[in-house]
Structure 1
Amino acid sequence: MPTFTIVAGARPNFMKIAPIIHVFQSQQKAGLVVHYRLVHTGQHYDRKMSGDFFDQLNIPEPHANLGGGGGTQAEQTAAIMIAFEKELLENRPDLVIVVGDVTSTLACSIAAKKLQIDVAHVEGGIRSGDLSMPEEINRMVTDSITDHFFTTSEIANYNLRKAGFSEDKIHFVGNTMIDTLLAQMPFFKKPEGQTFENLQTGNYFVMTMHRPANVDQEQSLKAMIDAILEGTGGLPIFFPVHPRTAKNLQNLGIEDPNLHLCEPLGYLEFNYLVKNAKGVITDSGGVTEEASVMNVPCLTLRDNTERPETVNLGTNVLVGTDPKKLKPYLDKIMKGDWKKYQGIPLWDGKTAKRIVDILVKSYS
């Protein structure tokens, strides 16, 4: 009987593991002998950053929570590795499944391989080429010791082939995050509260910013927000604020009647906002994927992206981090003159089934 341990730790992971778990559950109900164990590393321990996602995405309670949140990146990595090693010694699987590019992905991959346990990386092979991003280091180290790569694009396949990985390790399956998006779209719901009372479809912007390059330099942050306010024509901007960003905004005393700050939202509420927005301004890779599939104009406040397919075939544009470059793009969105989603291969809602079929065949 094959046994798989699925790892999740931070908010972006939960959308990626949910469809895999649902396929495992459906196979169990159909009488197939397959066993999985869900381990939550505890990297995100805030309710809005973690717990709500389990509820909304119908993810069962994890079999174990490692409590690895808090501290510096090194402290967090070490805490997760120590706790996950103990978990694996007590519950040894045939394979550990990690997703994405967060600290938990790196830490659990290393712990598994040190115990001679195979690792599968869902979303393997993506690269930004920017080593100033902790996520890029996480991707590179995880991929260097991965046994099965489940990739989201032909660009990721090319990156892995170029790095010398054999074809039999690379499985082009699509994007589990889009499985979740398509499955949950009928259940999107308007956020509650006075802030969102007067929402008008197509008549507001959604904004997210959390990367240190954008939010840790206070004057740069102020210049960017000023440019966004100036270029959005007085339309409301809804900004679910990452805790670190909230602190910096408070220090700057930034206030504007069109800028609506709110706490991090649940998955269904946040994507309701995105789906009905005039445009999205973000520095998150995952948001560019969701916005593209929902055909919503998307501006990325970065100089690079690990998801170039969202630029080539989606609605995303790399604006960079210079506030002066924003206005022409915002003008195009305001005029309704934006490129349409062209369809990204295998982003069809069936990725998790492909992954589980490959794993069950490989380990039965």
Structure 2
Amino acid sequence: MKKILIVFGTRPEAIKMAPVVKEFKKCEQDFETKVCVTAQHREMLDQVLSFFNICPDFDLNLMKPNQNLYSLTGDIINGMKPVLEEFKPDIVLVHGDTTTSSAAALAAFYSGAKVGHVEAGLRTYNKLAPFPEELNRQLTGRIADYHFAPTSKSQNNLLQEKTDASSIMVTGNTVIDALIESVEIVNKVHDNDDINRLKELIDPKKKLIVVTGHRRENHGQGFLNICDALNTIAKTEHVQVIYPVHLNPNVQKPVYSILGDNPNIHLIDPLPYEAFIWLMDKAYLIVTDSGGVQEEAPSLGKPVLVMRDTTERPEAVEAGTVILVGTDKNKIADEAMNLIENTERYNKMSQLHNPYGDGKASQRIVDFLLKN
């Protein structure tokens, strides 16, 4: 029986690893599976754990006020040491591009465990965009023994980096597994306070634009431009903007100062995962700098404007389900207004195929590790 340790620390990781945890737990005869959370994010992480009914076996509880990348990286490596010594996993599974992923992978390597990288092979090849995620992902990729690439393009990136082809499996993205399960759960919920508040907020006569934004590289002038663009879009009478604002002060300060008085823009607290899924499903258009939303929204038939200059998810751009607009306020506003007014273009974009999978990625990861 192989011992599997699944490690994550942020809300996006938790969402994408939840279906992986559940799939491994189904195979108790083949795997002893334990979950370790670093709690790089605390409150938002706990919401996802509760929604998917996951109880961690190890909780490092590392989140601190004003934490920085230096201390967080060291705390994760040091925090992982006793966990690895106690459980002695054969394989440690990490996800994506967070500080948790790269630091936990390095700790696992030090312990002698093999490392499996879920959502492997995404690249911009610009180590400052996204920062620090691009380099986190590349570091994790160099450490990993098994690479679970969501697409063939991700696989090709790994092959070009001389990664052993036999160690790579194209799986699709586990976020689609999570989304399919989540939509089913949310549609059965009839008494959720967060969803009920959203129902009261939404004007059904208006086209709803949902906004998220938090990327470090957009802090400063980037967020000022984004806010100016949203003000322009929200001047349109038949448009409503709902923006769950990230807790980072570098986001909160410009957003509330520039957008706080616009009656067509509703600034709200970050939403629990299930409420955000519900809100995305009701949206007409989504404007975001999030990687996960680029993958999720097309499965819901929602066009996406991505407020980044580069993306490690070019498949969506090539498929036409997302449009890169950067932080150019004119481009954000122009593309949004075009999709609001041009019904034919909107319908074509909303009906395009999602390149990120069929909801069976987690099953493919389990099947791969059963054979390796």
- The two structures have a TM-score, normalised by structure 1, of 0.92
**Partner in structure 2 of residue 18 of structure 1:** 18
CA contact (8 A) 2:321 2:354 kept: no
Structure 1 position 239, deviation (Å): 0.8
Q: Secondary structure at the match of 1:243?
A: coil
One-letter code of the match for 1:178? I
One-letter code of the match for 1:117? A
Equivalent of residue 97 in structure 2, options 98, 101, 106: 101
> Are the structure 2 counterparts of residues 155 and 111 from structure 1 closer, same or farther at C-alpha, using a change threshold of 3 Å?
same
The 5 A counterparts of 1:209-228 are 209-214=213-218, 216-217=219-220, 220-228=222-230
CA contact (8 A) 2:310 2:324 kept: yes
Correspondence 1:57 to 2:52: yes
**Structure-2 separation of matches of 1:175 and 1:323:** 31
Deviations 1:170-211 (A, max 9, x none): 111111110010111122367346564042457211000101
**Partner in structure 2 of residue 321 of structure 1:** 327
Q: Secondary structure at the match of 1:197?
A: helix
**Partner in structure 1 of residue 76 of structure 2:** 80
Q: Secondary structure at the match of 1:347?
A: coil
Structure 2 spans left out of the alignment, 5+ residues: none
* Alignment size in residue pairs: 354
Q: Secondary structure at the match of 1:260?
A: strand
Structure 1 position 94, deviation (Å): 0.4
**Partner in structure 2 of residue 45 of structure 1:** 42
Q: Secondary structure at the match of 2:243?
A: strand
Equivalent of residue 204 in structure 1, options 208, 212, 222: 208
CA contact (8 A) 2:30 2:370 kept: no
Deviations 1:122-170 (A, max 9, x none): 0010012221110001001000111000010111011001101111011
**Partner in structure 2 of residue 138 of structure 1:** 136
**Structure-2 separation of matches of 1:144 and 1:192:** 42
Moved more, 248-257 or 346-355: 248-257
CA contact (8 A) 2:108 2:114 kept: yes
**Partner in structure 2 of residue 229 of structure 1:** 231
Give percent identity, aligned residues only: 33
**Structure-1 separation of matches of 2:68 and 2:201:** 40
**Partner in structure 2 of residue 342 of structure 1:** 352
Structure 1 spans left out of the alignment, 5+ residues: none
One-letter code of the match for 1:130? N
**Structure-2 separation of matches of 1:82 and 1:205:** 43
**Structure-2 separation of matches of 1:324 and 1:210:** 20
Moved more, 95-104 or 332-341: 332-341
**Partner in structure 1 of residue 242 of structure 2:** 238
Correspondence 1:123 to 2:119: yes
**Structure-1 separation of matches of 2:98 and 2:19:** 19
> Are the structure 2 counterparts of residues 344 and 315 from structure 1 closer, same or farther at C-alpha, using a change threshold of 3 Å?
closer
Structure 1 position 237, deviation (Å): 0.9
Equivalent of residue 303 in structure 2, options 294, 297, 302: 297
**Structure-2 separation of matches of 1:308 and 1:346:** 11
> Are the structure 2 counterparts of residues 346 and 197 from structure 1 closer, same or farther at C-alpha, using a change threshold of 3 Å?
closer
**Partner in structure 2 of residue 312 of structure 1:** 318
CA contact (8 A) 2:304 2:321 kept: yes
Structure 1 position 2, deviation (Å): 0.6
Deviations 1:8-28 (A, max 9, x none): 100111111111111122223
Structure 1 position 223, deviation (Å): 3.3
**Structure-1 separation of matches of 2:185 and 2:111:** 41
Structure 1 position 320, deviation (Å): 1.4
**Structure-1 separation of matches of 2:37 and 2:181:** 23
CA contact (8 A) 1:173 1:346 kept: no
CA contact (8 A) 2:315 2:355 kept: no
Q: Secondary structure at the match of 1:6?
A: strand
